[in-house]
Structure 1
Amino acid sequence: MQYKTHVTTSLALGLPLIVSSQQLSALNVGALLVGCLLPDIDQPTSFLGKRNRLVSGVTHKTLGHRGGTHSLLGLVIVFVMVAFISQRYFNFAGRYFPFWLCTGYLFHLLEDSFSKDGVKWLWPLGKKGIRTGRKWLTYSTGGIGEYLLLGFTFCLLLIEIRLIWLNQLGNFLPSGMLAHLQALTLKLQTIFSSN
């Protein structure tokens, strides 16, 4: 999936969550966006790869594309690193930064699961990419399916922005479960930063 499709799809999925949790801020939206692009750091031609050639080159040579960065292990490692940095250097306003960054990261993995190559969720245990299993649900990067998804999520995103403007987007989702997840991640952040 191209970066623009990752961005629009992750924003369309994430904005209702951010608004319903009453945490709409540039920092949290930025964390979601960085998170949704971060797994592709292993590809030197990706959006982040072009801007971080050293990290991208090393990651690509050691893990390959859609290897460690496209796995649950990669997600956990990113969470631990960002939680440590967040607890040490962010103020109170940035306490949910790791949660939203990892939410964007997870969205990226889910989105890539619908590609023809799939995602190695259990890397390094699994060598083969896991995908949806339904041929009509898969897409090829840069293919018509991806562009249809891009158009749909862009329209959905415009509707969501309008609903934010009207202060009505937060009414669609219950925020109780999200609050429990965030409380758990805050506890984990405290654990990781104390070591």
Structure 2
Amino acid sequence: MEYKTHLVSTVVVGLPVMASGGQVDVLNMGMLVLGSLLPDIDHPQSFLGKRNKIASGLTNKAFGHRKATHSLAALVLVYWLMSVIAAHYLTSRGIYTPFWLTFGYLCHLLEDSFSRDGVNWLWPKKRKAIHGAHQVVFYKTGGLGEYLVLGLMICLLVIEIRLLWIGQLDRLLAGKYLTNLQTWLFSLDQFLPFIK
């Protein structure tokens, strides 16, 4: 999936969730957007790869594309690193940054799961490829299917922005679910070394 489709699709999913908890602000939105692009740091021609050539080159040489950075292990590592950064270097305004960065990262992985190549969620364990008739719904990166998804997501984003503007977006989802999930994740932080 191209960066613009990842970006728009992740914002479409994340914005109502963010609004339900009253957490729509520039910092949280920035973390969501960064998370939606971060897994592709392993590809030198990706949006972030072109802007961070050293990190992209090293990651690509070490792991290749859609290997380590497209796994549950990387998802947990990103959450842990951002939690350390938030605990030591951010004010109380940044309390939700680990959640939103990880949410964006997870959305990227889910979106790539529907591509022809899929995602190896359990990396470094090898996976069996799912292609053709066994894969019910899939798209080809840069193909017509992806552009149809992008068009649909842009339409949904326009509707969500309008709902946000008139103060109705937060009513799409119950905020208690977001709060419960974030409280549970914060309770896990005590088991992660170096956070406190």
TM-score range, shorter chain: over 0.9
Deviates more, 1:116-125 or 1:176-185: 176-185
Q: Measured at CA, do residues 25 and 131 of structure 1 come closer, stay the same or move farther in structure 2, by a change above 3 Å?
A: farther
Q: Gaps (5+ residues) in structure 1?
A: none
AA at the equivalent of 2:116: K
Q: Measured at CA, do residues 71 and 129 of structure 1 come closer, stay the same or move farther in structure 2, by a change above 3 Å?
A: farther
Q: Which residue of 1 aligns with 2:53?
A: 53
Aligned alpha-carbon RMSD (Å): 1.8
Structure 1 position 130, deviation (Å): 6.0
SS state of the match for residue 138, structure 1? coil
Structure 1 position 182, deviation (Å): 0.5
- Asked if 1:104 corresponds to 2:84, the answer is no
Q: Which residue of 2 aligns with 1:21?
A: 21
Q: Measured at CA, do residues 10 and 194 of structure 1 come closer, stay the same or move farther in structure 2, by a change above 3 Å?
A: closer
Structure 1 position 111, deviation (Å): 0.1
Q: Measured at CA, do residues 83 and 194 of structure 1 come closer, stay the same or move farther in structure 2, by a change above 3 Å?
A: closer
Q: Which residue of 2 aligns with 1:183?
A: 183
Tell me if the contact between 1:119 and 1:129 (Cα under 8 Å) persists in the aligned partners: no
Structure-1 separation of matches of 2:99 and 2:131: 25
**Over residues 36-59 of structure 1, what are the superposed CA-to-partner deviations in whole Å (9 max), with x where a residue is unaligned?**
100000001000001110000000
Q: Please give the residue correspondences for 1:113-192 in structure 2 after superposition, counting only pairs within 5 Å.
A: 113-128=113-128, 135=135, 137-192=137-192
Tell me if the contact between 2:21 and 2:178 (Cα under 8 Å) persists in the aligned partners: yes
The share of aligned pairs that are identical, in percent, is 50
Tell me if the contact between 1:115 and 1:138 (Cα under 8 Å) persists in the aligned partners: yes
Q: Which residue of 2 aligns with 1:10?
A: 10
Tell me if the contact between 2:83 and 2:195 (Cα under 8 Å) persists in the aligned partners: no
**Over residues 123-165 of structure 1, what are the superposed CA-to-partner deviations in whole Å (9 max), with x where a residue is unaligned?**
0012445689764520000000000000000010000000000
* Residues paired across the two proteins, number: 195
SS state of the match for residue 48, structure 2? helix
Structure 1 position 186, deviation (Å): 2.0
Q: Which residue of 2 aligns with 1:86?
A: 86
Q: Which residue of 1 aligns with 2:76?
A: 76
Structure-2 separation of matches of 1:180 and 1:112: 27
SS state of the match for residue 139, structure 1? coil
AA at the equivalent of 1:70: H
Deviates more, 1:130-139 or 1:178-187: 130-139
Q: Measured at CA, do residues 184 and 83 of structure 1 come closer, stay the same or move farther in structure 2, by a change above 3 Å?
A: same
Q: Gaps (5+ residues) in structure 2?
A: none
Structure-1 separation of matches of 2:13 and 2:63: 28
Tell me if the contact between 1:31 and 1:100 (Cα under 8 Å) persists in the aligned partners: yes
